[in-house]
Amino acid sequence: MYNFGKFWEIGHSHFAVHLSPKMKILSQINVPKDLRALTMDQLPQLAQELREFIIDIVSTKEGHLGASLGVVELTIALHYVFNTPNDKIIWDVGHQAYGHKILTGRKERFNTNRQLGGISGFPHRKESEYDAFGTGHSSTSISAILGMAMASKLKGANQTQHIAVIGDASIASGMAFEALNHAGVSDANILVILNDNAIGIDPSVGALKKYLTRIKREATQDENIFECLNFDYSGPVDGNNIKTVIAELERLKSRPGPKLLHLITLKGKGLRQAEENQITYHSPGKFDRTTGKIRSGPDNHQPPKFQDVFGHSLVELAQQNPKIIGITPAMPTGSSLRYMMEEIPDRAFDVGIAEQHAVTLAAGMAAEGLVPYCTIYSTFLQRAYDQIIHDVALQSLPVVFCLDRAGMVGEDGATHHGVFDIAYLRCIPNLIIFAPMNEVELRNIMYTAQLGLPQPIAIRYPRGQGSLVDWRLPFKKIALGTSRELRKGSKIAILSIGALGSWIGKVIDEIGNDQLIGHYDMRFVKPLDENRLDFIFKNYEHIVTIEDGCKAGGFGSAILEWSNRMGYTKSIQILAIPDIFVEHGTMEELHRQVEMDPTSLKNLLNKILNADQKM
């Protein structure tokens, strides 16, 4: 059975961190109460030590680097001025919260960050009372902190302070503005801290970015947009000057109503390479902490990442088809749309953190005869669900959704796993769902989509590398609703969807009874290849489905529904993610945990074969 222990209860001693003797102040800080016992003159030294500690751990254990380095002074100042955890701090997105975690009792375990059984890379309510609200997706902090502030007032806890820290990229999102709009007409005691570093993962975009840049340059005395929303605005202030930040926080602490403090910070501060190359050092992988140089991978002659196959293939197709458009909500690097933005900039758009807008923008373009490829991480497409239904599928507009990071994503954990898309898309009429097993299949379905479809299509593919080195083959059209027979058998049919299918052949070879086990790459979740399914159910005794998605409502459920509708009574085993939120770890560890790895499949197949032999 699945083994899901409480990851935050792992013993501290097993993962103990040994601090450098140079970290004389940080070594004394276990909780913010210790921090508040320091003098102001000690805080700059603490900031230096905290930066060094973050760099030490992330250089060897990996994680989000630049965002946390940029807010070290702010982090210290918040816990120095406010009475946490009674006062509430919410970190929008949360990848900048490493310093917060270190100062709030997790220093000794910080080297387990994002590892199986270790602490989460994002704020997590079950992990610490100092994590007032769990985050991972952007632009939620102002709504949440407003809700907490209103709750405190209703309970009579009028002295409690409520702070949301949000970046300039996140505050441009619609949800953040919805919260600002509501907060501005309330008398809630909230402080919104705008951490303005002009970059999210990629550089911030849009008119609001230009507006914030103008405020910074001109220091205008005119009423600004936040004051027009009835916020008590302060700034811009140097967010990397700890004494200045503390002075502002102390001043604002006693002011009633909604307030906004505009801080200017430098992402990656304290590591030269992270300051100069902020995109790469957002999450750089392992690097030399002395030189800052990123450690190179093993061999360059490896299969490419699926995202890069998407990016390069889209450029190829767009060069042949002038109707093709590329759209992404703030993920040009992560999705590899940047290749098209570099080659054909007038037809590729980063619309900022605005998934709802991205989907309906694509719908508008499709309505005018263009072929928009809207590339969004699977987990972020959840934020635009109504737009998929109301603006795209209901009107049968041929938008091409390219769902990157579909399936489990590893160390980023529960907030980022793209495991629900099959279930939440399969119930929508007029929508095709396709999952390529390899890079060539991804290229071919992208090619097929731009030939002209009467309806939208969602193409889901995983994070990380594919399985083919030689993937740049000529494009071929894929007939809708067709599957592939990869291996014929007689007793057990394995029906796979997506990239998990690439290792199934090896598992069958290891079992030895290869003539008994068939393997089918079903490719389409919707429409199903009903002719193939009819053949399979008539010629095999046992059916095993496998997918990198949730079991409830997923691909296996679709097979069960079809089987029931057709009156078949064959045994069907579904390998998929159970009805839980899977936490963080490597992809291999998490697939083992939910029994969707090669060993688990091999054990299941042997169990079925052995049971048949005994009958």
Residue 466 reports pLDDT greater than 50: yes
Q: Which of 97-106, 295-304, 517-526, 588-597 has the lowest mean pLDDT?
A: 295-304
Q: Mapping DSSP to helix (H, G, I), strand (E, B) and coil, where does residue 217 land?
A: helix
User: Which 3 state secondary structure label does DSSP give 404?
Assistant: strand
User: Cβ(304)–Cβ(443) under 8 Å?
Assistant: no
Least confident among 33-47, 151-165, 187-201: 187-201
454 Cβ contact list (under 8 Å, min separation 6)? 396, 398
State the number of CA atoms in the 13 A half-sphere of 68 facing the CB: 28
The answer on pLDDT for 3 being more than 80 is: no
d(CA 558, CA 560): 5
Is 383 annotated as catalytic?
A: yes
| DSSP 8-state class, residue 233 | E
433 residue type, one letter:
I
**pLDDT per residue as tens digits for the range 385-396:** 999 999 999 999
Strand 432-434, strand 524-526: pairing? antiparallel
pLDDT at residue 334 in the model: 93
Residue type, 459: I
Active site residue 267: yes
Say whether pLDDT at 316 is over 70. Answer: yes
Res. 339 pLDDT band, cuts 50 70 90: very high
CA distance 232 to 210: 21
At residue 298 the predicted structure's pLDDT band, cuts being 50, 70 and 90, is low
- The yes-or-no verdict on residue 9 having pLDDT over 60 is no
pLDDT score of 22: 77
> Within a 10 A sphere around the Cβ of 302, how many other Cβ atoms?
11
Q: Is the pLDDT of residue 446 over 90?
A: yes
Q: Give the contacts of 58 (CB within 8 A, at least 6 positions apart).
A: 64, 65, 98, 113, 284
The pLDDT assigned to 490 comes to: 95
Instruction: Report pLDDT for 73.
Output: 97
* pLDDT greater than 70 at residue 4: no
**73, 248, 355, 441: which one is catalytic?**
355
pTM metric for this prediction: 0.93
In contact, 380 and 355? CB cutoff 8 Å:
yes
Rounded alpha-carbon distances, angstroms, from residue 440 to 200, 259, 304, 524: 32, 53, 11, 15
Of residues 525 and 223, more confidence is placed in 525
Is pLDDT above 90 for 285?
A: no
The active-site residue out of 51, 109, 267, 551 is 267
DSSP lists the bridge partners of residue 11 as: none
Select from 107, 136, 138, 112 the least CA-distant residue to 124: 136
Looking at residue 209, its pLDDT comes to 82
Q: Which helix (H) or strand (E) holds 400?
A: strand 400-404
Examine the residue annotation and report whether 355 is marked as an active-site residue of this protein. yes
Catalytic residue among 114, 209, 383, 405: 383
Query: Average pLDDT, whole number, for the chain?
Result: 92
> How far is Cα 5 from Cα 9, in angstroms, rounded to an integer?
8
| Least-confidence region, from 37-46, 320-329, 511-520 | 511-520
Cα(545)–Cα(575) distance, integer angstroms = 6
pLDDT for 211 equals 84
Backbone angles phi, psi at 297, to 5 degrees: -75, -175
Give the model confidence (pLDDT) of 77-119 as tens digits: 999 999 999 999 999 999 999 999 999 999 999 999 999 999 9
Contact (Cβ atoms closer than 8 angstroms) between residue 106 and residue 575: no
Number of H helices, E strands in the chain: 24, 17
Residue 383 has pLDDT above 80, yes or no: yes
Half-sphere exposure of 471 (CA within 13 A, CB side): 25
Q: Which residues contact 566 (CB under 8 A, 6 or more apart)?
A: 534, 537
Given a contact cutoff of 8 angstroms between Cβ atoms, the answer to whether 319 and 342 are in contact is: no
Cα gap 378→231, rounded to integer Å: 35
The pair phi, psi for residue 408, each rounded to 5°, is -75, 145
Q: pLDDT tens for residues 475-485?
A: 999 999 999 99
Does residue 301 carry a pLDDT above 90?
Answer: no
pLDDT in tens, 118-143: 999 999 999 999 999 999 999 999 99
Q: Which pLDDT score is estimated for 219?
A: 61
* Domains of the chain as residue ranges with CATH: 21-282 (3.40.50.970), 306-460 (3.40.50.970), 485-614 (3.40.50.920)
Reading across the β-sheet that carries 162-167, which strands appear in turn?
Answer: 88-91, 162-167, 190-196, 259-264, 232-238
The stretches of 321-456 forming alpha helices (DSSP H) are: 332-335, 338-343, 355-367, 378-381, 385-387, 421-426, 439-449
Q: What is the pLDDT of residues 525-537, one digit of tens each?
A: 999 999 999 999 9
